[in-house]
Amino acid sequence: MAAPSYLDIIESYHQYRSAAHELIESVMTGIGSPSLLEDQEARQRAIKSLREIYPFADLLYTLDEEGRQITEFQMVDGGEDLEKGWGLNRDRGQRPYYVLAKDTDKVVTTEPYFSIARQQLCISGALRLVDRDTGRTGYLVVDFDLEKTLSFLMGDTRRRQFEPWFRGVYSIIVIGLMVVVALLIYTAFAEIVSLFTEPHSYQDEKLKPFGIVIFLTLGLAIFDLGKTVFEEEVLMPKEFFRLSATRRTITRFIAAILIAVSIEALLLMFKSVLGDPDSIMAAVSMMVGAVGLLIGLGIFVYLGARAEKIMSDTPRLPPSDNTD
């Protein structure tokens, strides 16, 4: 399954930055407890809670007062385990989450960065913890998968679960379309061969090339439709909340239909000139329909671009104070 590009993820993050930071703040506040610094069972309970309620959480680990990692990376999402002991006792004193958290008692959230441990974009939430009984100070750090966090915020999690099935259905449909294209191409070339090898009347010889062009044109239109569906719905990541993605898909789909209708109208006009006057009205009707499609497509693209520009120019809410 194709994953969204990093550029798309970063653009979505900047659009929902304030909401993402507030979400992470609530998560960290809910699980933050000094017992996490020393009690493995407490950490396991926190991981279980994160896994059940916040599926976008990725890694949980703790640091000592100097920023040195004192527990292993512990997987939250149930993914592939990291090498045992990986990251343990490493100095994290220069990492943004430690630098931000050491001077405040509030939850801090980093900007997106590429996680070496998980090989993906993430943001980290950190909270300074103080054990009142022992006076020990430490830091709880949770890494959050940025893509999953944004999907959770936008209510896109359930759709993403079904996305592999959708892609499978689209793939089957595209295969069927390509079979039809192959049959049309075969028929067109069979007609070309018969044009040279079999006797025909003068009228048939004039009209047969147009039949061949019709087969090839239909094949081209169906191939372009199948290619568009395959690119947009199978290969490319689904940008569910971006107007430009929807506009691009509809534009390519209508453009493929427009090309097919225009070519068929021209063929009917040629047939009317060659002795089939009844075709002229159908040709004119198809050409009028093509012009209507073109005008409608232009209006749709214009209004869609204006709507996206208005949304992009709308001032965003400033981030909360505890993220600075």
Each residue's pLDDT tens digit, 267-291: 777 777 666 677 788 888 888 988 9
Q: What's the pLDDT score for residue 124?
A: 94
Distance, in Å, from the CA atom of 153 to the CA atom of 146, rounded to the nearest integer, reads 11
Nearest to 129 by CA among 141, 121, 140, 117: 140
Q: What's the pLDDT score for residue 280?
A: 83
How many of the other CB atoms lie within 10 Å of CB of 311?
A: 11
Q: How confident is the model at residue 315 (pLDDT cuts 50, 70, 90)?
A: low
Each residue's pLDDT tens digit, 19-78: 999 999 999 999 888 888 888 888 888 888 888 888 889 889 999 999 999 888 878 766
Its CATH architecture, for the domain 6-153, is 2-Layer Sandwich (3.30)
Nearest to 322 by CA among 92, 125, 37, 34: 125
Identify the weakest region by mean pLDDT among 168-172, 227-231, 255-259, 290-294.
Answer: 255-259
Handedness of CA 198, 207, 274, 277 (dihedral sign): positive
Q: What is the mean pLDDT of residues 221-246?
A: 73
Q: How confident is the model at residue 319 (pLDDT cuts 50, 70, 90)?
A: very low
Q: What's the pLDDT score for residue 81?
A: 56
Asked if the model's pLDDT at residue 2 lies above 60, the reply is no
Identify the weakest region by mean pLDDT among 207-221, 275-289, 305-319.
Answer: 305-319
SS3 212: helix
Domain boundaries defined on the chain: 6-153, 160-313
Q: What's the pLDDT score for residue 133?
A: 78
Distance, in Å, from the CA atom of 37 to the CA atom of 35, rounded to the nearest integer, reads 5
Identify the weakest region by mean pLDDT among 40-49, 56-65, 88-97, 212-221.
Answer: 212-221
Token digits of residue 68 = 């040195």
Each residue's pLDDT tens digit, 76-87: 766 555 566 666
Contact 91, 306 (CB under 8 A): no
Burial class (CB in 10 A: 0-12, 13-18, 19+), 271: buried
Q: What's the pLDDT score for residue 154?
A: 80
Identify the weakest region by mean pLDDT among 12-26, 97-111, 305-319.
Answer: 305-319
How many of the other CB atoms lie within 10 Å of CB of 318?
A: 10
User: Which one has a higher pLDDT value, 143 or 133?
Assistant: 143
Q: How confident is the model at residue 320 (pLDDT cuts 50, 70, 90)?
A: very low
Q: What is the mean pLDDT of residues 178-191?
A: 92
Nearest to 123 by CA among 273, 9, 233: 9
SS3 297: helix
Q: How confident is the model at residue 142 (pLDDT cuts 50, 70, 90)?
A: very high
Q: What's the pLDDT score for residue 82?
A: 58
SS3 141: strand
What percentage of the chain exceeds 90 in pLDDT? 23
In what helix (H) or strand (E) does residue 129 lie, and over which residues does it extend?
strand 120-130
Q: What is the mean pLDDT of residues 152-172?
A: 82
Q: Burial letters for 220-253: b for 16+ Cβ neighbours within 10 Å, e otherwise?
A: bbbbbbbbbbbebbbeeebbebbeebebbbeebb
Distance, in Å, from the CA atom of 294 to the CA atom of 297, rounded to the nearest integer, reads 5
Q: What is the 3-state secondary structure (H, E, C) of 215-281?
A: HHHHHHHHHHHHHHHHHHHHHCCCCCCCHHHHHHHHHHHHHHHHHHHHHHHHHHHHHHHCCCCCHHH
Q: What's the pLDDT score for residue 103?
A: 86
Burial class (CB in 10 A: 0-12, 13-18, 19+), 8: middle
Distance, in Å, from the CA atom of 141 to the CA atom of 109, rounded to the nearest integer, reads 10
Q: How confident is the model at residue 177 (pLDDT cuts 50, 70, 90)?
A: very high
Long-range contacts of the stretch 276-284 (C-beta < 8 A, 24+)? 276/207
Q: What's the pLDDT score for residue 93?
A: 87
